[in-house]
Structure 1
Amino acid sequence: MGKKIRIGTRDSELALWQAKTVQKLLQEAGYDSELLPVKSTGDIVLDKPLYELGITGIFTKTLDVAMLNNDIDIAVHSMKDVPTRLPHGIVEAAVLKRANVNDILVHKGLDFLDTQGVIATGSLRRKAQWLHKFPEHTVVDLRGNVNTRMQKLTDNTWNGAIFAAAGLERINLKPENYIDLDWMTPAPAQGAMLVVAKEEDTYCKEALQHLNDTTTALCVHIEREFLRVLEGGCTAPIGALARVVEEDIIDFKGVLFSLDGKQKIEVEKKINIENEQQLGEQCAKEILNNGGTALMKEIKSMMK
């Protein structure tokens, strides 16, 4: 009989749903486990925009420390929250099959779209893309877990707020009054769940291979390599989406915006799946060579 795998997770409803999903899949594969919820700094400090906190991986650091201290064996994350460089001794062990990649607008009526409106989001990427399309609108900061953000939308006079569709769908919180923002390029790895383990823990790594979806893993790693080369982390308006559109074809789109949404640099490529190894890096370098280097420098100077 193997050991009981201790699953670390944030304690929000969505994070617990994700952890319980991993627990169920492990049980189906014949492994025993238990949940150990913790509260991250990103969940506690809600009165500042994420970028002002100055911490890459603010939602994952607490679990990283717990794992390195041997308090938990594995940790479950929304993959878009995870830094492109993991701490020494921690490795990716499984990427689960991807859910809905889209952003959605939860709204109180759409009359404002052609006039002036106020939209809420805590994401620089969503803010920049919204202002690019609706430059006359105002975007205000919105923090908290999905339940808290939905309540804040109800309590304020904002016209709408932007959410990841996958998060609302997973906990049955997606309302009727929404529209798909299929024109908005998602965050790298949006809709995917990542499970990490200690590099030395062969038992957990072998167990988690039963959960890994190879197609999702391929696509999100291309997106995260694009992000890594652009040096975005959580502090730049960067979007990326890779999809296997035919059996042997990958379709990739990557974008970089200025903070105010006025500048947009994008790249789109379709390649044979055999040539995917350098795709994310190549597309990021194309962005950098087309004005992205100067734009990233400007963004970093404004974020200080």
Structure 2
Amino acid sequence: MKNKTIRIGTRDSELALWQAHTVEKKLNDLGYKTEIVAVKSQGDIILDKPLYELGITGIFTKTLDIAMITGQVDIAVHSMKDVPTALPQGIVQAAVLERANTVDLLVHKGNLDFLEKEGTIATGSLRRQAQWLHKYPQHQTVDLRGNVNTRMQKLQESDWGGAIFAAAGLERINLKPDTFINLDWMIPAPAQGAMVVVAMAEDTFSLEALSELNHVETEICTYIERQFLRTLEGGCTAPIGALATYEEKTDELHFQGALFSIDGKQKLAIDRKYDISEWKKLGFNAAKEILANGGKEVMETIKLQLKK
């Protein structure tokens, strides 16, 4: 009974289409028929406002959620870091694919002198902005929006020192230039480098097909990171980084999580190892610890700043 065609919903950027085609190939290899349906999201259309002003939660996923609920597509493929921690009613997480590179990198123009003095760095992410300013308080940051190709072009046409990108996105569509440095000190966004596929809760055909694509280790690590995010944020946007990695030799989870003030001056962080048995509550407990150690006040300040 693999004769039903699974319609795969995706945004129409080059990276999103690459992700959708990756899922398509995996399903085809298992004997399923597929069709790709591309739609534009509000996040792609409105490029003149910073993401946090758009009420970032779900800005890239809303259009596809509606397409699924109204029956135009059966499943949707997303960069997991763009997906709200609470999915709309009736939509469920069906598969998390094996994670790619989690690192952020700085794309520059061949001259890194600005790192030692004043400089301007472009990023549309509050998390990257806060961590950059924490390390380079003498710098300025500017907002940078658009898909990966657009952002690359804007960087080349600007007088900025560099711009920050997720390594995974650039690697997937072969856009990684020679002029970059890995920002291995920067804690990535929760679920960075992971792709998620969602489906309707009652669509057993698609759910069964997608269950074969799920990578359990990535699913557990991203679950921890997103639980940390959800517990800290409570639905608003904030500079939060989280990375959980599984260490096979010791059967432990290494978790790094941090909350920053928007200007980067305050940093509340956790970096420790946990027994694998603790995974279900790890993100929640780590976030509660940060909230109890001053995080609550930092979050309240962030909410006030973003309201202005």
TM-score per shorter chain, which class?
Answer: over 0.9
Aligned twin of 1:251:
254
Identical amino acids, percent of aligned pairs: 67
Deviation for aligned residue 1:269: 2.3
2:269 is the alignment partner of 1:269: no
Mapped contact 1:40–1:59 kept (Cα < 8 A): yes
2:295 is the alignment partner of 1:292: yes
Alpha-carbon distance in structure 1 between the residues aligned to 2:282 and 2:196: 21
Mapped contact 1:101–1:191 kept (Cα < 8 A): yes
Alpha-carbon distance in structure 2 between the residues aligned to 1:281 and 1:269: 14
Q: Give 1:216's aligned amino acid.
A: T
Which SS does the other structure have where 1:282 is aligned? helix
Q: Give 1:120's aligned amino acid.
A: A
The ranges of structure 1 where at least 4 consecutive aligned residues each deviate by more than 3 angstroms after the TM superposition are none
Aligned twin of 1:150:
152
Deviation for aligned residue 1:246: 2.5
Q: 1:202 aligns with which of 185, 204, 214?
A: 204
Q: What's the RMSD between the two structures over aligned residues?
A: 0.9
Alpha-carbon distance in structure 2 between the residues aligned to 1:194 and 1:45: 24
Alpha-carbon distance in structure 2 between the residues aligned to 1:137 and 1:293: 27
Alpha-carbon distance in structure 1 between the residues aligned to 2:217 and 2:239: 26
Deviation for aligned residue 1:276: 1.1
Structure 1 residues 55 and 110, CA, compared in 2 at 3 Å: closer, same or farther?
A: closer
Aligned twin of 2:184:
182
Aligned twin of 2:31:
30
Alpha-carbon distance in structure 2 between the residues aligned to 1:96 and 1:232: 26
Alpha-carbon distance in structure 1 between the residues aligned to 2:165 and 2:72: 32
Which SS does the other structure have where 2:100 is aligned? coil
Alpha-carbon distance in structure 1 between the residues aligned to 2:177 and 2:247: 30
Mapped contact 1:105–1:179 kept (Cα < 8 A): yes
Mapped contact 1:7–1:75 kept (Cα < 8 A): yes
1:259-288 CA-to-partner distances (Å, cap 9, x unmatched) read 000000001221111221110000000010
Q: Give 2:263's aligned amino acid.
A: D
Structure 1 residues 182 and 156, CA, compared in 2 at 3 Å: closer, same or farther?
A: same
Aligned residues: 304
Instruction: Point out where structure 1 has 5 or more consecutive residues left out of the alignment.
Output: none
Alpha-carbon distance in structure 1 between the residues aligned to 2:88 and 2:184: 34
Alpha-carbon distance in structure 2 between the residues aligned to 1:114 and 1:275: 42
Q: 1:280 aligns with which of 280, 283, 305?
A: 283
Which SS does the other structure have where 1:211 is aligned? coil
Instruction: Point out where structure 2 has 5 or more consecutive residues left out of the alignment.
Output: none
Mapped contact 1:227–1:233 kept (Cα < 8 A): no
Aligned twin of 2:239:
237
Q: 2:215 aligns with which of 213, 216, 230?
A: 213
Alpha-carbon distance in structure 2 between the residues aligned to 1:268 and 1:233: 24
2:71 is the alignment partner of 1:94: no
Which SS does the other structure have where 1:46 is aligned? coil
Alpha-carbon distance in structure 2 between the residues aligned to 1:58 and 1:254: 24
2:69 is the alignment partner of 1:68: yes
Which SS does the other structure have where 2:124 is aligned? coil
Alpha-carbon distance in structure 1 between the residues aligned to 2:47 and 2:247: 39
Which SS does the other structure have where 2:212 is aligned? helix
TM-score when normalising by structure 2: 0.97
Aligned twin of 1:171:
173
Alpha-carbon distance in structure 2 between the residues aligned to 1:234 and 1:196: 22
Alpha-carbon distance in structure 2 between the residues aligned to 1:231 and 1:125: 13
